[in-house]
Amino acid sequence: MNETPSRIVSLAPSNTEILCALGLADRLVGVDDHSDYPPEVQQLPRVGRELEIDAERVSRLRPDLVVASLTVPGMERNLPKLQSEGLRYVVIDPKSLEDVLGSICTLGEVTGRSAAAQQLVQRLGDGMERIAARVARASARPRVYWEWWPKPLITPARLSWVTDMIDMAGGVNIFGEFDRESLRVDEDMVFSRQPEVIVISWCGAEKLVDKQRIRERRGWDVVPAIRDDRVYVVAEAPFGRPGPRLLDGLERMARMFHPELF
């Protein structure tokens, strides 16, 4: 892309956070309905939910760049609508943690902020290395069950940045052997893997579930994490949005898995 964009619309919260971290908040003229961070974006015009973007509304904002992300399931359905409106757009699709850092560089390149992107990636990489070095002193790596959704049970698998983060934070994803981004599982699959830590991070939940509801699930008392009260309920954003705040999420993971080191 040859021209540096001056009017940008973001169609995913993760993209919004990356663009703002690159110093482009003043170029954003519209965002999807769920973009809420940093706080200054909350006053921007809304163009719809990530899965139901109103392309005509996007067009009326006269953007010279629209930024989409296929990490939002179903986002691909919006692309033909953007094309029909004649809108210039870029799509990122990070899966691994390395991909996330690469997508930051991609957005830096297409927005004329390559130097800022490199600096951000360096800062994130340095922070991740510091956390990994600290948890390397741990005597054991707990088995972790991460729950994206309760009905049906959805969990990250090998091709997910969350699995990379669990590993870097000194844990082991109990479903990390499955060659997918996420996986639908049943309770028996969870029970048989005997997780020592459970993290509840429901996608799109407007408020955190009471931890006691998880502890009182019928039959779950066979799980070590339940017996040892190692159940954590966390907001999705620092873990599920592939952007700069994953570093915050990584530190929170490390503290959950290895509180004795912090």
Check which CATH number belongs to the domain holding 248 and give it.
3.40.50.1980
Does residue 13 sit in the same domain as residue 119? yes
Query: Alpha carbon of 243 to those of 69, 99, 164, 193, 249: distances in Å?
Result: 11, 10, 14, 30, 10
Largest CA distance in the chain: 59
Inter-residue contact 223 to 195 (CB < 8 Å): yes
- What per-residue confidence (pLDDT) applies to 51? 79
pLDDT at 206: 84
Domain-embedded: residue 190: yes
pLDDT given at position 2: 52
Does residue 145 sit in the same domain as residue 247?
Answer: yes
Nearest partner of 203 among 247, 144, 147, 138, judged by Cα: 147
Choose among 55, 66, 54: nearest CA to 5: 66
Domain assignment present for 134: no
Domain boundary among 93, 124, 155: 124
pLDDT at 183 over 70: yes
Peptide bond into 38 cis (omega under 30): yes
Does residue 213 lie within any of the structural domains? yes
Instruction: Give the domain range for residue 247.
Output: 139-261
pLDDT at res. 262: 92
Same domain, 143 and 237: yes
pLDDT at 75 over 70: yes
Using the 3D structure, point to which of 79, 98, 124 is the last residue of a domain.
Answer: 124
**Do residues 147 and 109 share a domain?**
no
Q: Kindly state whether residue 16 falls inside one of the protein's structural domains.
A: yes
Query: Residue 129 domain-assigned?
Result: no
Note whether residue 18 is domain-resident: yes
pLDDT surpassing 70 at residue 1? no
> Does 204 share its domain with 251?
yes
Decide if pLDDT at 216 tops 90: yes
Shared domain for 143 and 256, answered yes or no, is: yes
pLDDT of residue 53: 94
4 or 38: which carries more pLDDT confidence? 38
Average pLDDT over residues 195-206: 94
> Measured between alpha carbons, how far is 148 from 144 in angstroms, rounded to an integer?
13
Confidence of residue 52 (pLDDT cuts 50, 70, 90): confident
The pLDDT assigned to 171 comes to: 98
Is residue 116 assigned to a domain? yes
The secondary structure of the chain, three-state, reads CCCCCCCEEECCHHHHHHHHHCCCHHHEEEECCCCCCCHHHHHCCECCCCCCCCHHHHHHCCCCEEEEECCCCCHHHHHHHHHHCCCCEEEECCCCHHHHHHHHHHHHHHCCCHHHHHHHHHHHHHHHHHHHHHHCCCCCCCEEEEECECCCEEEECCCCHHHHHHHHCCCEECCCCCCCCEEEECHHHHHHHCCCEEEECCCCCCCCCCHHHHHCCCCHHHCHHHHCCCEEECCCHHHHCCCCCHHHHHHHHHHHHCHHHC
Is 94 within the bounds of a domain?
Answer: yes
pLDDT tens digit sequence for 241-260: 999 999 999 999 999 999 99
One domain for residues 120 and 174: no
Per-residue pLDDT at 14 exceeds 50:
yes
Backbone phi, psi, residue 155, to 5°: -140, 150
Task: Look at the chain and report how many structural domains it folds into.
Answer: 2
86 and 156 part of one domain = no
Judge if 113 and 162 occupy the same domain: no
Residue labelled with tokens 């159940």: 231
77 and 151 share a domain?
no
- In a shared domain, residues 192 and 236: yes
Q: pLDDT class for 72, splitting at 50, 70, 90? A: confident
